[in-house]
Amino acid sequence: QVQFNAPRVLPLSSYKDNNLAAALGSEQKFGGAGDSSQSNSLTGNISVSVIEVLSNGYLVVRGEKTVSLNQGSEYIRVAGIVRPQDIAPDNTVLSSKLADARISYGGNGVVAESNRQGWLSRTLGAIWPF
């Protein structure tokens, strides 16, 4: 509760004891919850090229594999940094040993387009996301 003392020159000065009382209150609540999970698995071998040898002896590598299908193509790209001691005797490196790993998978064509949201649903989702 807040009280104001009004001077007698104001028209409100006729109130009892020249006091104005006001009750102010405000309340705001927000609650939310969310959950997200994602799991992907790619298995295979990709040849890479050494792009650069760093001053510490580590190797910057990059490679890509493209598979063309009847109605499109798919690719997987790999890049990162490899320590020479992580290279196995058969000249392979596990992706878990790849530092600063950048692994991307995608494609184009009919199959890839079917996995993309259409323009109408993207527009409606932006305007009315419920």
Would 53 be classed as within a structural domain? yes
Q: Is the whole model's pTM more than 0.85, yes or no?
A: no
Integer Cα distance of 3 and 23 in angstroms: 9
- The string of pLDDT tens digits covering residues 39-68 is 767 778 889 999 999 999 999 999 999 888
Integer Cα distance of 88 and 54 in angstroms: 20
- The string of pLDDT tens digits covering residues 24-39 is 666 667 666 767 676 7
Would 34 be classed as within a structural domain? no
Task: Count up the domains in the chain and report the number.
Answer: 1
Would 87 be classed as within a structural domain? yes
Would 127 be classed as within a structural domain? no
- Look at the chain and count its residues: 130
Range of the domain at 58: 49-109
Would 3 be classed as within a structural domain? no
Task: Identify the burial level of 96 via C-beta atoms within 10 angstroms of its C-beta, where 0-12 means exposed, 13-18 middle and 19 or more buried.
Answer: exposed
Residue 91, pLDDT > 70, answer: yes
Integer Cα distance of 86 and 3 in angstroms: 76
Would 66 be classed as within a structural domain? yes
Alpha helices (runs of H) in the chain, residue ranges in sequence order: 110-114, 119-127
Would 18 be classed as within a structural domain? no
Residue 111, pLDDT > 60, answer: no
The one-letter amino acid code at 92 reads T
Would 56 be classed as within a structural domain? yes
